[in-house]
Amino acid sequence: MRVSYADMKKEFKRILLSRGFNEDQADLSAELFTENSLDGIYSHGVNRFPRVIEYLEKGYININAVPTLIESKGAFERWDGNLGMGNVNAKKAMDRAIELARQNGIGAVALGNTNHWMRGGAYGWQAARAGCIGICWTNTMPNMPVWGGKDCRIGNNPIIFAVPRAEGHVVVDMAVAQFSYGKMEECKMNGQLLPVPGGFDTAGELTRDPAEVLQTWRALPIGYWKGSGLSILLDIIAAVLSGGKSTHEIGRLGGEYALSQIFLAIEAANIAGNEFLNTAVNNVINDVVSSEKADENGRVFYPGQMEQQTRADNLANGIPVNEDIWHKICEM
Amino acid sequence: MRVSYADMKKEFKRILLSRGFNEDQADLSAELFTENSLDGIYSHGVNRFPRVIEYLEKGYININAVPTLIESKGAFERWDGNLGMGNVNAKKAMDRAIELARQNGIGAVALGNTNHWMRGGAYGWQAARAGCIGICWTNTMPNMPVWGGKDCRIGNNPIIFAVPRAEGHVVVDMAVAQFSYGKMEECKMNGQLLPVPGGFDTAGELTRDPAEVLQTWRALPIGYWKGSGLSILLDIIAAVLSGGKSTHEIGRLGGEYALSQIFLAIEAANIAGNEFLNTAVNNVINDVVSSEKADENGRVFYPGQMEQQTRADNLANGIPVNEDIWHKICEM
């Protein structure tokens, strides 16, 4: 079944209001959950919503808490998220990074003590809509071994890069794990192999069998040793600049909260000039999508293109939902 | 054979002076080449030096040119590299980003129209030595297919993240290709397979055979589709902010020059406080290196650790060089 954007947002908002959120926070959070679903990122939209309500009930999320400024130095600010709603906190942090960029060319916000931001790409799209280049990342609980290690010590720490473009923004939103556990669960349920190796099996060999990786918890970072190092650096930078917790500290909390995040905005449209910016980005995109195809029936997408197609389809025809999940939400 | 730091630097400097470089430029460039070798990155130190001299002779590098400021907005500046020596330009750009960070918490320099910076990690170590978090990246000539494509359209665009730490800085320096062509050539010469798949073979399948990848030129980005998207975004951001060339434009030049680069510095020591910074970084590093080992005789390194060990060894015992290459250099 498919649910309209308006109906989905209304349900989310109703539930958040019923849990004690004020009008502004409920509206913004509901909007962010709905937009993620609209763009096809159901795992961090409609499908994730019930788990966030569970987190509310466990007390991991401080209802109506907003971030507070801890320290300011020019174009850089450190904020405490006060364990408020993760998507609302992240949206406000990127808003502030954009304001700082308007004044200083570049703006940086480090946000500690916050909650899961759901889909990090949302804050990249947000920056791009404001004419800014956006770069942001978060740390997570430990969910992968470091390269050469066996037990989970590093996070999949998603990182986002976004560039504005009149014909559709260009956005990469990637965890530094090759596959999420959600994706591996899905492949396992469908009896499918992963398209490329996703981790180590019980014999210590690389495998495409999701069931094996789900058993060993030895998921692969992108680029093997490279993504492992990248994960460590993203974690350190987020924790150190925000004054918040790093992945290994989050791992001792018993739940994934009190995360550390970085938000950078650069005023691309003003710096580069709108016309140069758009021509330059278009030239790269046009070159890339006109590649000779590896598979003659295949297609090359630019980063963000599929989300835009899904968004247009879902706006016109409603957002596809799993009926069980949707009924569960409607009864909340 | 092994050559001391002082002797190697002296040779490089002599040759650069003989090609018309002034004292300052020759000294700085020679130092950077020598340091790369000292840290064990011979591919971008002693082994690369002869090719840079070739580039000088082809006229790709403007001897004694220095970067000029094109535009300034608060904490962000755009510089033209004037096709000067790549390592000297990059060093000066990170110097300037650090100065901007001292004033604004964060500083950003976009440098266009520059030359190959050799080892990007050098500018990360530079930022860390100044007590700053450093992030920088460069675009390159097209040397990989985009995901789903067959011909080389995207660059391996190395990106660097560095964090200062009293006991040794933490630095990731990674191209977004799984392996460099240099590494694949080396494995092929030694009759070795790559440790993990490095590209596609002539049948269009993933392969660990370096000879196959060197034939198809279908090298793999880290994380397959993820690194492909990352490469595109790094290229666009560097080109757009610097006002310089993007990878597809560089590909039409007939040589790898006129590159675009980004340098970010954040004043970590001042923002976080030296003590908190060091404790926080140490806690992450200590947690990571104490992982349960995948191979009981194996070891887990933190990013930058191996370079520091090599540096100490090479400082004490001299820098290992290939005799043929070293004699060639001495006769230049």
Distance of residue B330 Cα from the nearest chain A Cα, in angstroms: 35
Structure tokens of B161? 């993240």
Q: Which residues of B touch A276 (CB under 8 A)?
A: 240, 243
Instruction: Pick the residue of B226, B279, B283, B296 with the most A CBs within 10 A to test the interface with A by mutation.
Output: B226
Q: Which residues of B are catalytic?
A: 44
> Average of pLDDT values for B129-146?
98
- Phi first, then psi, for residue B319 (nearest 5°) are -90, 125
Distance of residue B213 Cα from the nearest chain A Cα, in angstroms: 14
A273 pLDDT band (50/70/90 cuts)?
confident
CATH classification code of A1-58+305-332: 1.10.1530.10
Strands (E), chain B: 2-3, 68-73, 76-80, 106-114, 133-138, 144-145, 152-154, 159-163, 170-174, 199-200, 206-207, 259-266, 319-320
> Average of pLDDT values for A73-86?
97
Closest by CA to B86, choosing from B131, B127, B55, is: B55
The CATH 3.30.1370.60 domain(s) of chain A lie at 69-177+221-290
Exposed / middle / buried, residue A221 (Cβ in 10 Å: 0-12, 13-18, 19+):
buried
- Phi first, then psi, for residue B110 (nearest 5°) are -105, 125
Question: What integer pLDDT is reported at residue A275 of this predicted model?
Answer: 87
A327 in active site:
no
% residues pLDDT > 70 (chain A) = 100
Distance of residue B46 Cα from the nearest chain A Cα, in angstroms: 24
- Model confidence pLDDT, tens digit, residues A291-331: 999 998 889 999 999 999 999 999 999 999 999 999 999 99
Encode A221-282 in three state secondary structure.
ECCCHHHHHHHHHHHHHHHHHHCCCCHHHHCCCCCCCCEEEEEEEECHHHHHCHHHHHHHHH
Put simply, the answer to whether A161 touches B243 (Cβ < 8 Å) is no
ipTM of the complex: 0.97
% residues pLDDT > 70 (chain B) = 100
Closest by CA to A114, choosing from A71, A84, A69, is: A84
The reply to whether the predicted model has a pTM over 0.90 is: yes
How many whole angstroms separate alpha carbon B3 and alpha carbon B179? 28
% residues pLDDT > 90 (chain A) = 91
B75 pLDDT band (50/70/90 cuts)?
very high
Structure tokens of B53? 């001299």
Residue A196 has pLDDT above 90, yes or no: yes
Closest by CA to B152, choosing from B139, B165, B141, B137, is: B141
Closest by CA to B179, choosing from B226, B213, B153, B146, is: B213
Residue in chain A nearest B303 by alpha carbon? A229
Whole-number average pLDDT of chain A: 96
Residue in chain B nearest A169 by alpha carbon? B233
- Model confidence pLDDT, tens digit, residues B12-55: 999 999 999 999 999 999 999 999 999 999 988 899 999 999 98
- Model confidence pLDDT, tens digit, residues A199-256: 999 999 999 999 999 999 999 999 999 999 999 999 999 999 999 999 999 999 989 9
Put simply, the answer to whether B300 touches A147 (Cβ < 8 Å) is yes
Question: What integer pLDDT is reported at residue A282 of this predicted model?
Answer: 96
CA B205, B235, B265, B111: dihedral to nearest 10 degrees?
140
Question: What integer pLDDT is reported at residue A182 of this predicted model?
Answer: 87
Question: What integer pLDDT is reported at residue B157 of this predicted model?
Answer: 98
DSSP state of B293: B
CATH fold group of domain B68-177+223-290 = Ribosomal Protein S8; Chain: A, domain 1 (3.30.1370)
Residue B80: which residues within 8 A CB-CB, separation 6 or more?
A: B67, B68, B70, B111, B112, B113, B243, B244
Put simply, the answer to whether A284 touches B247 (Cβ < 8 Å) is yes
The CATH 3.30.60.50 domain(s) of chain B lie at 179-220
How many whole angstroms separate alpha carbon B74 and alpha carbon B168? 32
Superfamily grouping for domain B179-220 = Hypothetical oxidoreductase yiak; domain 3 (3.30.60.50)
Structure tokens of A75? 């174009």
The CATH 3.30.1370.60 domain(s) of chain B lie at 68-177+223-290
Q: Which residues of B touch A78 (CB under 8 A)?
A: 271
Q: Which residues of B touch A270 (CB under 8 A)?
A: 73
Residue A271 has pLDDT above 90, yes or no: no
Put simply, the answer to whether A71 touches B271 (Cβ < 8 Å) is yes
How many whole angstroms separate alpha carbon B101 and alpha carbon B97? 6
> Average of pLDDT values for B124-151?
97
**Are the C-beta atoms of residues A163 and A281 closer than 8 Å to each other?**
yes
- Model confidence pLDDT, tens digit, residues A126-167: 999 999 999 999 999 999 999 999 999 999 999 999 999 999
- Model confidence pLDDT, tens digit, residues B253-294: 989 999 999 999 999 988 888 888 999 999 999 999 999 999
CATH of A69-177+221-290, one of 3.30.1370.60, 3.60.150.10, 3.40.50.2300, 3.30.750.24: 3.30.1370.60
Residue A328: which residues within 8 A CB-CB, separation 6 or more?
A: A50
Question: What integer pLDDT is reported at residue B296 of this predicted model?
Answer: 87
- Model confidence pLDDT, tens digit, residues B107-134: 999 999 999 999 999 999 999 999 999 9
List residues bridging with A77 in a β-sheet: A72, A109
End-to-end CA distance of chain A: 19
